[in-house]
């Protein structure tokens, strides 16, 4: 048996473990003493690796390049040469006819790795000539990046995961650590054991709320009002750090001008909270020696996400809770490499290392390094721009790599319409997915476990992961595929290994320069910024309270509260908010192929309902129900729980049959373009014939699996039969 050091391919906690391999088959996992996980793992780390053995539980591995000349036809297996020539040919044609900006590329936030993302954005910029490249941070923590860049200068967690257990107060706002990052939740639990005060702001009584000193069960959609009220209390009750504000921040007067209206009493109606609770929260937060704010999708997946992030940063700036150990603000990044995809510049407005496409000197530097006369200066499209851009004819092609937008984007009907409008869809992935079913070309890639690379976890830590298995079938590494297509398009690109790519990256990014492969080897952990090889990496940002804004000061920025886009009414009386569950992950093409994880949780997924609402509707626990919105209708299994607040229902976005994104609304934050997944108006329809309903789920699921498998295993094009010459008798 052999052991290979890995970084977990699921969430952003960056857990390290050994993958155990026998005869080129994954057989187990044992935890390692990584910096963030300290020898612990969750069920996904322990039992979420058997997908590597092509279990075919949900969908089979893609093992051969495939293409089709029309989406009404089945796929045909082809050679790599054919696939490359076809793809390059089509991309070249479209670029010629409609211009480089008619093509959209993606990065990948999961197993592909930093090097593959670097190559993907280089492909978009140097080969196609567009900044149309984005990754699924767009539908996740982009508001955090935008809001924190505006207020502090950098968009990442200011402190490290380990510091969470040593802080004196955790303000947990719209963040469900137990379901999103068990290993981060572990730190919250340890902090509590060490005497830290915990405040949770969440409409549901989530795990962290159970152990909190104060739970603010605010109404869905009232974030900005509550955050403004917090600021109001800090200022009116003189709880804020006047010295810190005077010396290290700007904008106090304009900030106060907006938040002065938001007294706790003023926001009682909007938030559904008592003024005394709001005051108490700030007494605890401001009274702590060191306090940390953690947030997740409960803050970002709103039409008003950026403003709330700025507001939370404001609370930390007002109280001086940033710039030193054990105090800071933490947008906890979801997926194992979503931080990395952003670090690598798979973003429409940034090159790798957060260097802006708008700066001429930056474009010149990269153009020189990449041997092109110039690079595009127009900020590109985001993932959420794609459906409308396609429907309006501005976008003609999309090259999707390691993402499943037909599952993860809001308003899936709109997404499908967008796909239908595109002339070319290239899907590069490891499993056949619903997105793959829209493709013209399928390019099969190696999976995590089958290649080397680097991930960046949620607290800016670069860690290496190693190839443990030889990939089966006719697959290639992601960065190799991009390189071959680039070469076929006339831009010679060739790398021999991931280290070569990494060295090119760090030579171009001052804040990554000291993070060499050597330093990251084994259990190495280098947190950027790391400007040179002798620099130890950066545990927490803004030492000495020096921020990376143009003025060097933190900016206090406030905004008025805006209501969510949709309204509930008699027809759709409940709020749907999409959330996570701990045992399946994201778009589920990986975790859905794991036996243990699927044994624990499978289609159609749950919709959680408050007992009072369930009783009114006549819905029993575990019954199948229809959930309908203005955009669609899906079946889900009712889970009646007092942890869910009245007037709201929650579904997780993992499920393909119970796909909640058929119901969500495509309304985005104006600055970050992140969708409002947390508020869609729905109704629950009980189903009288439960026998029929269970049958329906089984049949629909079977059919979906069958179609995906048939597509993945498409045969080569039939060769014409050789004509038989007449043989002499």
Least distance from other proteins to the Cβ atom of residue 46, Å: 6
Q: Encoding tokens for residue 497?
A: 């290994």
Q: Looking at 122, 186, 482, 631, which residue binds other proteins (CB under 8 A)?
A: 186
Nearer to other proteins, 92 or 611 (CB): 611
Q: Applying CB under 8 A, does 210 fall inside the site for other proteins? A: yes
Nearest one of 675, 693, 697 to 604, comparing CA atoms:
697
Q: Mind giving me the DSSP string for 535-574?
A: S---SSS-GGG--SSTTSSEE---------SS---SSS-E
CB closer to other proteins out of 217 and 272:
217
Residue selected from 18, 55, 236, 549 as contacting other proteins according to rule CB under 8 A: 55
Measured CA to CA in angstroms, residue 140 lies from 361, 606, 653 at distances of 30, 22, 13
Rounded distance between C-alpha atoms, residue 202 and residue 208, angstroms: 10
Q: How far apart are CA 462 and CA 98, in angstroms?
A: 39
Kindly give, in sequence order, each residue whose CB lies less than 8 Å from that of residue 247, ignoring residues fewer than 6 positions away: 545
Per CB under 8 A, 700 contacts other proteins: no
Q: Which is nearer to other proteins, 350 or 701 (CB)?
A: 701
User: Residue 434 Cβ, how far from other proteins at the closest point, in Å?
Assistant: 22
Work out whether 50 is an interface residue with other proteins (CB under 8 A). Answer: yes
Token couple for 200: 């949770």
Nearer Cβ to other proteins (217/632): 217
**599 versus 715: smaller Cβ distance to other proteins:** 599
The site map against other proteins for 629-668 (x = CB under 8 A) is: ------------xxx-------------------------
Nearer to other proteins, 100 or 658 (CB): 658
Longest dimension (CA), the chain: 108
* Residue number, 463 or 598, with CB nearest to other proteins: 598
Does 20 interact with other proteins (rule: CB under 8 A)?
A: no
Which range, of 39-47, 105-113, 405-413, 704-712, touches other proteins by CB under 8 A?
A: 39-47
> Contact with other proteins (CB under 8 A): which of 20, 85, 150, 211?
211
- Give pairs for 31-36: CB < 8 Å, separation 24+: 32/5, 32/523, 33/523, 34/7, 34/463, 34/523, 34/525, 35/161, 35/162, 35/461, 35/523, 35/525, 36/161, 36/162, 36/183, 36/184, 36/457, 36/459, 36/461
CB of 645 to other proteins, least distance (A): 11
**Which of residues 133, 136, 140, 185 is near other proteins by CB under 8 A?**
185
With residue 195 as reference, give the H or E element that holds it.
none
Tokens of 219: 């109404």
Strand partners of residue 595: none
Binding of other proteins by 598 (CB under 8 A): yes
**Residue 704 engages other proteins in binding (rule: CB under 8 A):** no
207 binds other proteins (CB under 8 A): yes
Assess 408 for contact with other proteins (CB under 8 A). Answer: no
14, 100, 107, 182: which one contacts other proteins (CB under 8 A)?
182
Closer to other proteins by CB, 5 or 178: give it.
Answer: 178
**Taking the complex as a whole, how short is the minimal distance between the CB of residue 119 and other proteins, in angstroms?**
33
The contact mask relative to other proteins for 599-628 (x = CB under 8 A, - = no) is: xx-x--------------------------
Q: Which residues pair with 425 in a beta bridge?
A: 398
Residue (of 422, 413, 412) closest to 392 by Cα position: 422
Single out the residue of 421, 437, 596, 704 in contact with other proteins (rule: CB under 8 A). 596
DSSP symbols for 374-441: ----S----GGGHHHHHHTTS--EEEEES--HHHHSSSHHHHHHHHHH-SEEEEEESB--TTGGG-SE
Binding flag, residue 332, other proteins (CB under 8 A): no
Site size for other proteins (CB under 8 A): 35
Minimum distance from CB of 206 to other proteins (Å)? 10
**Nearer Cβ to other proteins, position 172 or 505?**
172
**Which distant-in-sequence residues (6+ apart) come within 8 Å of 188 by Cβ?**
164, 165, 170, 172, 177, 198, 208, 211, 294
Binding mask 563-592 for other proteins (x = CB under 8 A): -------------------xx---------
**Alpha carbons 157 and 188: distance in angstroms, whole number:** 16
Q: Report the residue number, 54 or 499, with the smaller CB distance to other proteins.
A: 54
| CA atoms within a 13 Å half-sphere pointing along the CA-CB vector of 336 | 27
Q: Which of 294, 262, 296 is nearest to 279 (CA)?
A: 262
Beta strand residue intervals within 232-381, DSSP E: 249-250, 291-295, 328-331, 350-351, 355-356
Does 542 engage in binding with other proteins (CB under 8 A)?
no
Q: Applying CB under 8 A, which residues contact other proteins? A: 28, 40-43, 46-47, 50, 53, 55, 177-178, 182-183, 185-186, 189, 192-193, 205, 207, 210-211, 582-583, 594-596, 598-600, 602, 641-643
């Amino acid at each position: 048996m052999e052991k290979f050091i890995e970084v977990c391919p699921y969430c952003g906690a960056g857990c390290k473990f050994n993958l155990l391999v026998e005869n080129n088959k994954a057989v187990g996992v044992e935890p390692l003493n990584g910096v963030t996980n300290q020898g612990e793992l969750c069920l996904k780390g322990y039992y979420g690796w058997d997908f590597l053995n092509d279990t075919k539980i949900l969908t089979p591995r893609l093992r051969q390049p495939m293409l089709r000349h029309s989406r009404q036809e089945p796929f045909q297996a082809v050679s790599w040469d054919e696939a490359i020539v076809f793809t390059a040919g089509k991309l070249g044609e479209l670029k010629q006819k409609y211009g480089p900006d008619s093509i959209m590329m993606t990065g990948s936030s999961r197993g592909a790795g930093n090097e593959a993302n670097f190559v993907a954005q280089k492909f978009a910029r140097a080969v196609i000539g567009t900044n149309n490249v984005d990754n699924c941070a767009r539908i996740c923590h982009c508001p955090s990046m935008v809001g924190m860049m505006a207020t502090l200068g950098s968009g990442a967690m200011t402190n490290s995961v380990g510091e969470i257990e040593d802080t004196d107060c955790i303000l947990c706002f719209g963040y469900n650590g137990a379901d999103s990052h068990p290993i981060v939740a572990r730190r919250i639990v340890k902090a509590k054991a060490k005497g830290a005060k915990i405040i949770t702001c969440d409409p549901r009584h989530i795990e962290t709320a159970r152990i909190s000193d104060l739970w603010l069960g605010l109404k869905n959609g009232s974030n900005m009002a509550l955050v403004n009220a917090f600021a109001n209390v800090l200022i009116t009750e003189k709880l804020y750090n006047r010295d810190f504000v005077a010396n290290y921040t700007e904008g106090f007067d304009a900030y106060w001008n907006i938040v002065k209206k938001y007294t706790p009493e003023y926001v009682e109606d909007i938030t559904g909270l008592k003024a005394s609770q709001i005051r108490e929260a700030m007494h605890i937060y401001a009274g702590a020696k060191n306090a940390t704010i953690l947030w997740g999708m409960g803050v970002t997946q709103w039409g008003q996400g950026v403003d709330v992030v700025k507001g939370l940063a404001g609370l930390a700036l007002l109280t001086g809770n940033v710039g030193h150990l054990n105090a800071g603000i933490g947008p906890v990044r979801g997926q194992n490499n979503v931080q990395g995809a952003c670090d690598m510049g798979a973003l429409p407005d940034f090159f790798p290392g957060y260097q802006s496409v708008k700066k001429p000197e930056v474009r010149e530097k990269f153009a020189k390094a990449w041997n092109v006369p110039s690079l595009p200066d127009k900020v590109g499209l985001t993932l959420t721009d794609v459906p409308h851009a396609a429907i309006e004819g501005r976008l003609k092609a999309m090259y999707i790599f390691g993402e499943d937008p037909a599952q993860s984007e809001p308003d899936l009907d709109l997404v499908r319409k967008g796909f239908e409008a595109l002339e070319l869809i290239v899907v590069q992935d490891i499993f056949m997915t619903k997105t793959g079913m829209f493709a013209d070309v399928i390019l099969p890639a190696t999976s995590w476990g089958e290649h080397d690379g680097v991930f960046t976890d949620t607290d800016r830590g670069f860690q290496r992961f190693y190839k443990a298995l030889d990939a089966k079938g006719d697959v290639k590494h992601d960065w190799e595929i991009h390189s071959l297509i680039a070469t076929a398009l006339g831009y010679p690109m060739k790398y021999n290994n991931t280290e070569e790519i990494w060295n090119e990256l760090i030579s171009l990014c001052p804040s990554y320069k000291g993070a060499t492969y050597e330093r990251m080897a084994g259990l190495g952990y280098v947190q950027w910024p790391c400007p040179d090889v002798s620099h130890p990496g950066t545990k927490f940002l803004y030492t000495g309270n020096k921020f990376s804004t143009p003025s060097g000061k933190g900016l206090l920025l406030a905004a008025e509260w805006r209501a969510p886009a949709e309204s509930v009414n008699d027809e759709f009386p409940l709020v749907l908010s999409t959330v996570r569950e701990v045992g399946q992950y994201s778009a589920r093409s990986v975790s859905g192929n794991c036996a243990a994880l699927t044994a624990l949780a499978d289609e159609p997924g749950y919709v959680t309902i408050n007992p009072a609402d369930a009783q009114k509707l006549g819905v029993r626990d575990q019954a199948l129900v229809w959930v309908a919105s203005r955009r669609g209708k899906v079946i889900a299994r009712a889970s009646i729980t007092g942890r869910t607040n009245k007037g709201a229902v929650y579904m997780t976005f993992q499920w393909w049959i119970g796909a909640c994104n058929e119901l969500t609304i495509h309304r985005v934050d104006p600055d970050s373009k992140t969708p409002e997944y947390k508020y869609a108006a729905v109704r629950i329809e009980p189903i009288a014939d439960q026998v029929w309903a269970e049958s329906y789920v089984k049949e629909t699921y079977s059919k979906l699996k069958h179609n995906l498998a048939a597509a993945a295993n498409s045969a080569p094009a039939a060769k014409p039969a050789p004509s038989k010459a007449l043989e002499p008798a």
